[in-house]
């Protein structure tokens, strides 16, 4: 898992740090599973795992394109609203008698348009994505409310709700998990194995350098936001299916969880580093942790405290590890590692 | 974008230049102008908009957001962000209400404790960002869930009702001084004036802009950047505490969810007020006016026949228009500066 997902060449030290972060996540995962097993005999049953995974899948699916966007040095806060808009339009169309095989492509297309809007304002206008997507976070949610209002649409056919609710025949693997795995595999290969991925890393490290090296920065950025819009829209469809109900407020508050998962996965908030396997592992860790805490009768409120602490620790630990490492290097008389190669180094918010 | 420092001087107007450029550079003036024009239009359609009772009620609510927005603006000018403001407001609001309900302390002491809690939470943010070196967006994303979780744990499912508060405690939210000036607006004004004086006329104020516009240069100049950032986060917490107390007075009924989701409105107010999220530019008064603008927009919508559902969409558009305008003005300014240098 570690070296197989090599970041750009010539970054050996950096790679080993990343590898260590993923190792840490694997250890955390094993520890959490062990903890869960001691808490309840039902923890290790397939049925339980199936449940704990299903509840987090929309977040996990949106986290995949978010990983690419954050690696490229941007952020998309509007994903939760796009999921809501997608749910609202799907419900509206279904309520108006439009069949789902028309409705779903329409909704995905709207997702692409929303992403295009984000991408064009950010990449063409040169505006900070944090503010632009804050604006579209409100805009898309508002559009969802305008389309569907306060009502919910819930008379979907069972074939559709099966998509979010059901399992792969003969197993207990939920369908959304299959979507997540496919997406993780696809985007993992794109990010870590193709020239597109290398361009994404290059832009995240230094957009100007990337531009002078012939990377079409604007095009890559716009494409990433379009991807994020489509996938957020897909997450909205899955959410609608899993809850058997289309609502304008679907997905409220999910962006924070998506961002938390991505950062827990070791992605640098300022871009330039991060891996898809790391984020996938973080998804599993969070799912297992939430479930273990639930079995231990820890309330949802305390779980949110745990998640927040985990997020902060995910930066503090590598920072201290890095400091300790450079101290050791200095004692040995070695050259200290360049400061900009810390996965979670401090940098300016820009 | 490196030239944001060109706009750093708060409230600096070039003496020469047309009216248009004055308005373009002065976000405060243009916001006031837009509010007056829109207010006039709305009052033609809905005369009840321009009544004293309506205006004071809206301004009182907007003042809570304005106080929080001033703290957020301070943090954003240092090139950081604080996403945990709403959770700090929530914790303070519940703690104050709960203390009063149990008659542990009298009102002034409870208010003091509430503001103190806000300050403590803000200092916690400051420590995590400056001492532990966690990027502020990550740190405050974390403390947003931690503080809100604390709020839920403290409150449980309990709700403090209006009847549980001492009689007269909520009066300031509805009192107008001299018949027209709501107490809350006065509080916001004091905060804005104090903040403006500190930012414009003190060494600390200059350091805030210096740290925000160019951290490396600030460090070379010997400015204690981390101390400045720590103070900014602490003041942001303190003002969230003030806003939390105002929240109790305004709403009266408080549970563990008070303030959920309002951080977006607060940041929107700051952005609409002309504070750049890239740091180093913008004014306190702009942020407060941004809050006032959003408050009046929310009030005017139903009056002109648009449902509340349009509010979110319009907020979103306002944010996009505001940041786009900033970018256009910035580019014009940079081009003008370049031309002047070329001559």
pLDDT score at B146: 94
pLDDT score at B1: 36
Q: B316 and A138: CB-CB below 8 Å?
A: yes
Q: Give A304's contacts in chain B (Cβ within 8 Å).
A: 145-146, 148-149, 152
pLDDT score at A335: 54
Per-residue confidence band for A31, with pLDDT thresholds at 50, 70 and 90: confident
Average confidence (pLDDT) over B239-265: 91
B184-222 pLDDT per residue, tens: 999 999 999 999 999 999 999 999 999 999 888 888 889
Q: Residue A257: is its pLDDT beyond 90?
A: no
pLDDT score at B4: 40
Who contacts A229 (Cβ-Cβ below 8 Å, separation ≥6)? A82, A111, A112, A113, A114, A115, A116, A118
Average confidence score pLDDT of chain A: 84
Question: What single-letter DSSP state applies at residue B307?
Answer: -
Considering only residues B113 and A331, tell me which one the structure prediction assigns the higher pLDDT: B113
A189-200 pLDDT per residue, tens: 999 999 999 999
How many CB pairs below 8 A link A and B? 161
Q: Which residues pair with A174 in a beta bridge?
A: A167
* A131/B contact by beta carbon, under 8 A: yes
Q: Which range is most confident: A235-239, B262-266, B327-331?
A: A235-239
Considering only residues A59 and B257, tell me which one the structure prediction assigns the higher pLDDT: A59
Looking at the complex, report in whole angstroms how far the Cα of residue A130 sits from the nearest Cα belonging to chain B. 8
Q: B279 and A263: CB-CB below 8 Å?
A: no
Nearest CA in chain B to A75: B137
**A:20-79 residues touching chain B, CB 8 A cutoff:** none
Q: Residue A2: is its pLDDT beyond 60?
A: no
pLDDT score at B319: 86
A151-198 pLDDT per residue, tens: 888 888 888 888 777 777 777 788 888 999 999 999 999 999 999 999
Query: Which of B80, B141, B153 minimises the CB distance to A259?
Result: B141
Considering only residues A283 and A336, tell me which one the structure prediction assigns the higher pLDDT: A283
The H helix count followed by the E strand count for chain B is 13, 2
Q: Residue B276: is its pLDDT beyond 90?
A: no
Q: Residue A3: is its pLDDT beyond 50?
A: no
CA distances from A64 to A87, A119, A220, B69 (A): 20, 17, 16, 33
Average confidence (pLDDT) over B170-181: 84
Task: Tell me the C-alpha distance between A122 and A228, whole Å.
Answer: 14
Average confidence (pLDDT) over A126-153: 90
Considering only residues B112 and B5, tell me which one the structure prediction assigns the higher pLDDT: B112
Task: Tell me the C-alpha distance between A4 and A6, whole Å.
Answer: 6
Q: A121 and B1: CB-CB below 8 Å?
A: no
Considering only residues A53 and B185, tell me which one the structure prediction assigns the higher pLDDT: B185
pLDDT score at B19: 56
A291-333 pLDDT per residue, tens: 888 777 788 778 888 888 988 988 888 777 777 777 777 777 6
In 3D space, the residue among B326, B208, B133, B217 whose CA is nearest the CA of residue A269 turns out to be B133
Lowest-confidence range among B53-62, B153-162, B301-310? B301-310
pLDDT score at B10: 43
pLDDT score at A130: 86
The owner of tokens 């995974």 is A53
Q: Residue A208: is its pLDDT beyond 50?
A: yes
Who contacts A252 (Cβ-Cβ below 8 Å, separation ≥6)? A80, A84, A141
Looking at the complex, report in whole angstroms how far the Cα of residue B276 sits from the nearest Cα belonging to chain A. 9
pLDDT score at B5: 40
Average confidence (pLDDT) over B39-46: 87
Q: Which of B131, B232, B313 to mutate to test the interface with A (most CBs of A within 10 A)?
A: B313
pLDDT score at A11: 54
**A:135-164 residues touching chain B, CB 8 A cutoff:** 135-143, 145-146, 149-150
**CB crowding B109-122: b at 16 or more within 10 Å, else e:** ebbebbbebbbebb
Share of residues in chain A with pLDDT > 90 (%): 42
Task: Tell me the C-alpha distance between B91 and B89, whole Å.
Answer: 6
Query: Which of A126, A135, A311 minimises the CB distance to B319?
Result: A135
pLDDT score at B15: 44
Q: Residue B108: is its pLDDT beyond 60?
A: yes
> Structure tokens of B157?
């499912």
Q: A350 and B268: CB-CB below 8 Å?
A: no
Q: Give A135's contacts in chain B (Cβ within 8 Å).
A: 268, 316-320, 323
Q: Residue A9: is its pLDDT beyond 80?
A: no
For residues B199 and B284, the answer to whether their CB atoms sit within 8 Å is yes
A7-32+56-324: CATH class: mainly alpha
Nearest CA in chain A to B270: A131
pLDDT score at B290: 93
pLDDT score at B49: 85
pLDDT score at A20: 67
CA atoms within 13 A on the CB side of B109: 8
Q: Residue B24: is its pLDDT beyond 70?
A: no
Q: Give B79's contacts in chain A (Cβ within 8 Å).
A: 348-350
Query: Which of B135, B150, B317 minimises the CB distance to A269?
Result: B135
Average confidence (pLDDT) over A114-124: 94
In 3D space, the residue among A283, A272, A139, A138 whose CA is nearest the CA of residue A205 turns out to be A272
Cα A8 off chain centre by? 21
pLDDT score at A6: 46
Average confidence (pLDDT) over A10-24: 64
- Number of residues written out for chain A: 350
Q: B79 and A347: CB-CB below 8 Å?
A: no
Share of residues in chain A with pLDDT > 70 (%): 89
pLDDT score at B7: 41
pTM, two decimal places: 0.84
pLDDT score at A325: 74
Per-residue confidence band for A344, with pLDDT thresholds at 50, 70 and 90: very low
Average confidence score pLDDT of chain B: 87
Cα B26 off chain centre by? 18
Domains of chain B: 62-299+312-319 (1.10.3470)
The predicted complex's ipTM stands at 0.82
Task: Tell me the C-alpha distance between A241 and A35, whole Å.
Answer: 32
pLDDT score at B325: 81
pLDDT score at A222: 96
pLDDT score at B187: 95
pLDDT score at A4: 44
Termini Cα distance of chain A: 31
Strands B181-182 and B176-177, how do they pair? antiparallel
Q: A134 and B319: CB-CB below 8 Å?
A: yes
Considering only residues A325 and A110, tell me which one the structure prediction assigns the higher pLDDT: A110
């Amino acid at each position: 898992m570690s070296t197989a997902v090599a970041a750009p060449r010539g970054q050996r030290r950096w790679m080993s740090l990343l590898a260590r972060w993923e190792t840490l996540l694997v250890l955390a995962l094993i520890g959490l599973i062990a903890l869960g097993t001691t808490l309840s005999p039902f923890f290790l049953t397939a049925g339980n795992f199936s449940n704990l995974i299903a509840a987090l899948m929309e977040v996990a699916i949106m986290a995949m394109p978010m990983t690419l966007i954050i690696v490229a040095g941007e952020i998309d806060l509007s994903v939760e609203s796009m999921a809501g808009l997608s749910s609202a339009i799907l419900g509206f169309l279904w309520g108006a008698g439009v069949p789902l095989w028309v409705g779903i492509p329409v909704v995905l297309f709207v997702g692409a348009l929303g992403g295009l809007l984000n991408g064009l304002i950010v990449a063409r206008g040169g505006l900070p994505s944090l503010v632009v997507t804050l604006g579209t976070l409100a805009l898309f949610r508002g559009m969802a409310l305008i389309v569907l209002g306060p009502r919910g649409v819930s008379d979907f056919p069972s074939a559709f709700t099966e998509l979010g609710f059901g399992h792969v025949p003969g197993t207990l693997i939920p369908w959304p998990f299959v979507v997540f795995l496919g997406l993780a595999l696809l985007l993992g290969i794109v990010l870590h194995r193709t020239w597109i991925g290398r361009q994404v890393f290059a832009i995240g490290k230094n957009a100007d350098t990337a531009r002078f090296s012939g990377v079409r920065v604007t095009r890559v950025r716009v494409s990433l936001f379009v991807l994020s819009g489509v996938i957020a829209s897909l997450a909205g469809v899955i959410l609608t299916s899993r809850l058997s109900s289309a609502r304008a407020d679907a997905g409220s508050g999910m962006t924070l969880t998506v961002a938390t998962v991505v950062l827990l996965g070791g992605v640098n908030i300022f871009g330039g580093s991060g891996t898809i396997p790391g984020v996938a592992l973080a998804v599993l860790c969070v799912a297992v942790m939430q479930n273990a805490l639930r079995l231990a009768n820890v309330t949802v409120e305390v779980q949110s405290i745990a998640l927040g602490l985990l997020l902060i620790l995910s930066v503090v630990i590598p920072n201290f590890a890095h400091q300790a490492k450079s101290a050791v290097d200095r004692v040995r008389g070695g050259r200290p590692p360049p400061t900009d190669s810390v996965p979670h180094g401090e940098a300016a918010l820009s | 974008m490196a030239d944001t420092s060109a706009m750093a001087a708060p409230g600096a107007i070039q003496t020469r230049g047309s009216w248009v450029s004055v308005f373009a550079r002065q976000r405060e003036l243009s916001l006031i102008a837009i509010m007056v024009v829109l207010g006039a239009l709305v009052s033609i359609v809905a005369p009840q908009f321009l009544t004293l009772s309506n205006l004071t009620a809206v301004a009182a609510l907007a003042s809570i957001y304005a106080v929080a927005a001033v703290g957020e603006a301070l943090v954003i000018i240092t090139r950081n962000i604080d996403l945990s403001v709403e959770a700090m407001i929530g914790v303070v609001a519940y703690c104050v209400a709960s203390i009063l309900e149990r008659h542990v302390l009298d009102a002034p002491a409870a208010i003091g404790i509430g503001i103190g809690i806000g300050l403590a939470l803000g200092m916690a943010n400051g420590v995590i960002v400056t001492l532990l070196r966690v990027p502020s967006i990550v740190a405050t994303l974390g403390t947003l869930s931690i503080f809100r979780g604390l709020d839920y744990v403290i409150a449980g499912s309990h709700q403090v009702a209006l009847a549980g508060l001492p009689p007269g405690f909520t009066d300031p939210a509805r009192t107008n001084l001299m018949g027209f000036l709501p107490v809350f607006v006065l509080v916001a004004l004091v905060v804005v004036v104090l903040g403006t004086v500190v930012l414009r006329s003190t060494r600390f104020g200059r350091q805030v802009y210096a740290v925000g516009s160019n951290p490396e240069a600030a460090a070379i100049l010997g400015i204690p950047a981390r101390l400045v950032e720590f103070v900014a986060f602490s003041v942001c917490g303190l003002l969230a505490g003030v806003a939390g107390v105002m929240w109790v007075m305004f709403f009266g009924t408080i549970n563990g969810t008070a303030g959920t989701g309002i951080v977006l409105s607060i940041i929107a107010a700051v952005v609409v007020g002309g504070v750049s999220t890239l740091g180093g530019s913008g004014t306190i008064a702009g942020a407060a006016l941004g809050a006032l603008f959003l408050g009046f927009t929310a009030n005017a919508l139903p009056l002109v026949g648009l449902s509340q559902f349009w509010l979110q969409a319009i907020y979103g558009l306002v944010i996009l228009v505001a940041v786009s305008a900033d970018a256009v003005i910035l580019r014009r300014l940079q081009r003008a500066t370049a031309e002047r240098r070329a001559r």
